Structure 1
C-alpha cells in the first residue's frame, strides 16, 4: 500500500465503492419489470477499475460477480480506444465475451472523469427469456450452445448517449417476453447510470489524479488480507472431488476433481482429473468456474474479507480445456451457474477441510430448478421461475444450517419471493411452503431442513425441469466432523388428468393444469449428532424440524409422545450415560 494514503480515507473509499454497488442494486429492484429480479434479486451489481479488475462486488449473487472482470476485460480487448463517454456495452457469451452463461446479460458503463476512463459500473442480470429451445431459456434438451438462446458478443448498445435502435429491435425479436426484457434491460441501464454518477463523484472528491492510487490500494489491502488467511494453511496438497451423476440424457459417472497446493507464493487450485465435458448443459465456462473458486475460498475463511479481485492475486487456477470446468465450444452450459459451480465449491470445501478441519463447512444440497411457461387467461405469455422451492444449507461449528435459503452459489443473495405477489403475477395458487421434517443432516449442529413446496398451475404450461441429482440417489450435501448428509430432493408433478410424474433429472414437456410439489434437499450436519444438546433436539421436535422418531434414531434423545418434554431416563440409556 502507498504509505502516503490515509488508512481511514482508504477504508472510506472501499465502503463508498461497496455502497455504490448497493445503490445500483436498489435502483434495479425498484425499476425492473420481472418478478424474479424485483422479488428474488437474480442480478448483481459490481464495479471494476479502468483495467477491468473488480474493485467491489458487494451487491447480489457471488457467482455473478466473481468472474465479472472477464466481462469488462473483454470490452477493453474488443473496443480498445473506441470507448467514449456516453457509451454502454452489452454482452453475455461465455466463449467470446467473458460471460458465465447466456441468460446472464452484462450491462457495463464506462466512467469518465476529466475525459479519462477511471472505472466501469456493471450490472449482470438473469433475463427471463432469451429465446432458445425452451421457454425460460433453461433448455435441458440442449446439446449445443445454439439451442440455448441468443449469443451476445461484446456490443456497444448505447453510443455517445444514443441507443442503437437496430440492435434493440434485434434483442426484443429474440425473446418470448419482449415487454419484460425491454423493462428489465432499461432498468439495468438506469442502475449503471446511477452507479457511474456516484463513482465519478467519488473520484472527484479524492482527486482525479489520485483515484487510481486509492483503487489500487483497495486491491492491495484485499491481497494482504487474503494472504494472511492462506498463511493458516500448512504447506502441502489436498485432493477432493464432487460427483456429476447425470448429463441430462443419461446417468454418468463424472467428477469435478480438485487439488489444492499451498506453496511459498500462494495457493494453486488445479482441476486436473476432472471429467470431460458432457453432452448436456452441465458444463462450465472459464468465468463461471473462476467465480466458483473465488466464492468457495472467500466463504471458507473470515467473513469480513474484502470482496474484490485483489484478494486472489495469490491464487493460481488451472482449468483443463475440454473438461466440465472449461468446456470447448459449442458445448451447452446454461446450467453451469447452478450445477457445476455447486460441485466446484463443495470439492474445494472438502479439500480445505483436510487442511483446516476446525473451519470445515458441511455440504449444501443440489438445486431443483423447475420453470413453468404458458398463457395467462388474457392471452399474455408468462414464464415463472420457482425460486420459492429452496433447500437448506450446511451447518458449521457453532450454528445450524439455514432451513431454507437460496442455492449455494448465491449464499443467500437470491431471496425468496413473496408468494402472494406471485399469485397476482401468474395463474397459480400456492398450497404450501413449509420447512421439511427430518430433511436436515443430523449433527451436533443440524443441517438446514429444506422445504415442502407445492403450487397449483391453473393453465396448460411447458415445464422445464432440471434436477441436480437423481432423486432418491446419493445426497449432494455431506456432513463433516461426524455429521451426516441431508435428504435428497423429491419432486413430483400431479396432472389433472390423473397422471403423476416424477422428474428424474432434466426434461421439457407440455402438461395440462397440474400441481407441482417438491421436497427440497437438506444441508449436511456438523459434528456427532449424539453430542447435540437435548434441549435443542426437543426444540426441533416442537418446531416440526425433527420427528419424535428421528430424535431418538439420530440424536439418541427420547422425546415424550406428546412432543413436549424429554424422557431423561431413556435418553441417558440411549446415550450410554
Structure 2
C-alpha cells in the first residue's frame, strides 16, 4: 500500500526551461483535460451535462495549484484550489485509489448541484496531481424538484450535501455512501450514471498523467510546472501593465425576489489596477450582508467571479493557471452576499443570478477607463428557456419519471470595443461554453414539444457595437402536467450598455392557456404547467457598447437582412436608411438618405 500523502513543499521555480518543451507539455496537459471532458459528455446520462455541457474538468498540482483547465465553464474552474485544499486538511491517509466527492459550498465547491469528484494522482508512491471533474446534476434531492431554490434560506432545504467524503478506496466505490444518493435523489439511476461518467473522466486523467510522467520523468514535469506558472504570471503582468492605472467602480442590481430581496440586490465592484506591480485588486466588501434565501454566493463563486471579470479584460492568450490568477486579488467579507457565507446559509443559486451580476460588475468596471476598454453587461439567467422541468413520461408502456434543465435559448452576450455580442453567450460566468439544446434531442429524450425558437427582432442592446439579441419561443408537455422552476433575473433590470450603448431586452416567462390566452408569470416562478398549456420564454439580450449613431451603416443593413433589426429601428435608432436592392429581397444602405439622417441628428 502506498504511504500516506502529505502536500510537498513548493519547489523553487526554475528560471530557464526549454520553450519548445514548455509548449509541448502545456498542450499535452490540455489534451488530457480534453479527453476527460469528452468522457464526461459521452458517458453522462442527463441532458444538462451531456448535451448542454454544464460540466468542467481540470488538473491541479497536489499542493493545490491550478495547472490547466482547457475549455471549461469559467465559474467552475477559476477557484478550484478551494475544492482540493479541504481534502488534505481533513484526511491524513490519502492514498492511491482514493476518490473524493464534494458538493458543499462550505468546503470549497460552487453550489450543491455541482457534484465534484477529485482523484489524487500518485507516481511511484509520490502524490503529484489532482484530477477533477465537476458536473451540474439535474437533481440533488431537495424538497422541490429543482437545484435552483431562491427561497431556500439554509442548506437544510437544499437536498443532499457530500461535505468532502471519500467515495472510493482502492479504486472501488463505497456502497454505503452511494446508497445515500440512491435513497434521496430523484431519478437516481440518471444521477448514478452521471457520477460514473465523472469517475471515468478522473481515472482516465490519472492514467494519462502517469504515462506523461513516466515518459518525461518526475524532475522534468516538476520543472515544467514551475516554468508554466512563471509564464502565466509573466503574461498576466505584461497584460496588466498595458492598462491605465486607477480605481474604477461599477454597480449593478439583481432583480427583486419577494421575501428574499424585495428591492433587489445591489452589487458594487471596486477594481484597482496597478500597472507598476502588475496587479489587479477586486474589492467587493462594500456590499450587503447575506440575504434569507439561496441567492448568496459561496466563497468559490465569489473568488471565481472576481477573477473572471478581470480575465475578460486581459489578452485572451494569457494562460489561466495559478501563475496568472496570483496577479488578481479578490477582497471578500465574511457574511456578505458576494463574500464568504456562514454555515448553514443557503447558496443554491450561487452559480447564477447574483453571481452573474458580480462578474458583470467587475468586467464593466473596465469600461470606466473609456474606449477601447471594458465591455457592456451580458444577459442574465434564466427565463423558462433554461427552466428546470420534471414530470412523468407516459409515451411508452412503462412510465418513467424525468427531471432535467433545458437550455433552449442562451442569453445574449455583451458588446465590447470592436465586437458585437454573440448569441450563445449564456451568461457572464458561462461565456459561450454552454451549448444550446438540440430541439430534436430534447424531444426524443423528454416528453416535450418545442413549438418555436427564434430571434426577437429589435431586442439587442443598440450601440456602435451591439449586444446580442434575445431569443423567444414556446414549448409544452406531451404527457400530462409538467412542473416548472424558473429563476429569471433580468426581467426588471436588463443588461445595461456602456459608453452610450443601450440596454438589451429583458427576459420573461409566460403561460399560454388551453384557450390560447397568454399571461406573464413571475420571473421567479415554481408551479405546475397543466396538460394542454404551454410555456413561453424570452431570454435576456446583451448591452451595447458606444453610441448607436456611430455604427457602421453596412453592419446595420446586415442586421436588417438577418431579421434581427427592423427597418424602422435602423432609421430611428441608428440613423441609417435602407432600401430593397435589385433582387427585391435584401436591403442595402441608402447612403444619401443616411447621411442626411445622421447630419440632422448630429451623428
Q: TM-score range by the shorter chain?
A: over 0.9
1:491 aligns with 2:491: no
1:527 aligns with 2:527: no
Q: Is the 8 A contact 2:453 2:471 kept in 1?
A: yes
Report the counterpart of residue 137 of structure 2 in structure 1: 127
1:481 aligns with 2:499: yes
| 1:59–1:552 Cα change, 3 Å | same
Q: 1:464 aligns with which of 485, 491, 501?
A: 485
Report the counterpart of residue 574 of structure 1 in structure 2: 597
Structure 1 stretch displaced more, 127-136 or 189-198? 127-136
| 1:271-293: CA deviation from partner (whole Å, max 9, x where unpaired) | 12212211221110111111111
| 1:497–1:463 Cα change, 3 Å | farther
Report the counterpart of residue 104 of structure 1 in structure 2: 114
**Whole-angstrom distance in 1 between the partners of 2:560 and 2:305:** 36
Report the counterpart of residue 51 of structure 1 in structure 2: 63
- For the residue of structure 1 that corresponds to 2:587, the secondary structure is coil
Report the counterpart of residue 156 of structure 2 in structure 1: 146
TM-score (norm 2): 0.91
1:406 aligns with 2:426: yes
Q: Is the 8 A contact 1:391 1:523 kept in 2?
A: yes
**Whole-angstrom distance in 1 between the partners of 2:493 and 2:426:** 21
Q: 2:411 aligns with which of 391, 394, 413?
A: 391
**Whole-angstrom distance in 1 between the partners of 2:591 and 2:381:** 39
Q: Is the 8 A contact 2:510 2:521 kept in 1?
A: yes
Q: Is the 8 A contact 2:15 2:227 kept in 1?
A: no
1:288 aligns with 2:301: yes
Q: Is the 8 A contact 2:310 2:328 kept in 1?
A: no
- Shift, 1:509, TM fit: 1.3
**Whole-angstrom distance in 2 between the partners of 1:205 and 1:112:** 15
- Shift, 1:255, TM fit: 1.5
Q: 1:381 aligns with which of 376, 383, 401?
A: 401
| 1:553–1:356 Cα change, 3 Å | closer
**Whole-angstrom distance in 2 between the partners of 1:51 and 1:499:** 59
1:347 aligns with 2:367: no
| 1:332-363: CA deviation from partner (whole Å, max 9, x where unpaired) | 11111111221111111222222363122121
**Whole-angstrom distance in 2 between the partners of 1:518 and 1:349:** 27
Report the counterpart of residue 539 of structure 1 in structure 2: 558
**Whole-angstrom distance in 2 between the partners of 1:322 and 1:497:** 48
- For the residue of structure 2 that corresponds to 1:190, the secondary structure is helix
- Shift, 1:454, TM fit: 1.6
**Whole-angstrom distance in 2 between the partners of 1:27 and 1:520:** 30
**Whole-angstrom distance in 2 between the partners of 1:410 and 1:555:** 30
Q: 1:182 aligns with which of 183, 186, 192?
A: 192
Report the counterpart of residue 434 of structure 1 in structure 2: 454
- Shift, 1:403, TM fit: 2.6
- Shift, 1:322, TM fit: 1.3
- Shift, 1:4, TM fit: 4.1
Q: Is the 8 A contact 1:537 1:557 kept in 2?
A: yes
Structure 1 stretch displaced more, 493-502 or 377-386? 493-502
After superposition, where does 1:298-309 map in structure 2 within 5 Å?
A: 298-309=311-322
- Shift, 1:485, TM fit: 1.4
After superposition, where does 1:151-170 map in structure 2 within 5 Å?
A: 151-170=161-180
Report the counterpart of residue 509 of structure 1 in structure 2: 527
Q: Which runs of 5+ in 2 are unaligned?
A: 1-12
| 1:499–1:177 Cα change, 3 Å | farther
- Shift, 1:62, TM fit: 1.0
**Whole-angstrom distance in 1 between the partners of 2:237 and 2:100:** 34
**Whole-angstrom distance in 2 between the partners of 1:26 and 1:522:** 30
Report the counterpart of residue 351 of structure 2 in structure 1: 337
- For the residue of structure 1 that corresponds to 2:263, the secondary structure is strand
- Shift, 1:497, TM fit: 6.5
Q: Is the 8 A contact 2:365 2:374 kept in 1?
A: no
1:13 aligns with 2:25: yes
Report the counterpart of residue 262 of structure 1 in structure 2: 273
1:318 aligns with 2:331: yes
TM-score (norm 1): 0.95
- For the residue of structure 2 that corresponds to 1:432, the secondary structure is strand
Q: Is the 8 A contact 2:424 2:435 kept in 1?
A: no
Q: Is the 8 A contact 2:73 2:430 kept in 1?
A: yes
Q: Is the 8 A contact 1:404 1:450 kept in 2?
A: no
**Whole-angstrom distance in 1 between the partners of 2:187 and 2:425:** 28
- Shift, 1:330, TM fit: 2.0
Q: Is the 8 A contact 1:283 1:336 kept in 2?
A: yes
- For the residue of structure 2 that corresponds to 1:361, the secondary structure is coil
**Whole-angstrom distance in 2 between the partners of 1:401 and 1:498:** 34
Q: Is the 8 A contact 1:441 1:487 kept in 2?
A: yes
Equivalent pairs counted in the alignment come to: 572
- For the residue of structure 2 that corresponds to 1:156, the secondary structure is strand
**Whole-angstrom distance in 2 between the partners of 1:148 and 1:88:** 24
- For the residue of structure 2 that corresponds to 1:108, the secondary structure is strand
**Whole-angstrom distance in 1 between the partners of 2:387 and 2:344:** 25
| 1:478-509: CA deviation from partner (whole Å, max 9, x where unpaired) | 22232211111122122336674423232321
- RMSD between aligned residues: 1.8
Report the counterpart of residue 10 of structure 2 in structure 1: none
**Whole-angstrom distance in 2 between the partners of 1:71 and 1:566:** 55
Report the counterpart of residue 241 of structure 2 in structure 1: 231
Q: Is the 8 A contact 1:29 1:37 kept in 2?
A: yes
- For the residue of structure 1 that corresponds to 2:452, the secondary structure is strand
- For the residue of structure 1 that corresponds to 2:576, the secondary structure is coil
- For the residue of structure 1 that corresponds to 2:255, the secondary structure is strand
Q: Which runs of 5+ in 1 are unaligned?
A: none
Structure 1 stretch displaced more, 543-552 or 526-535? 526-535
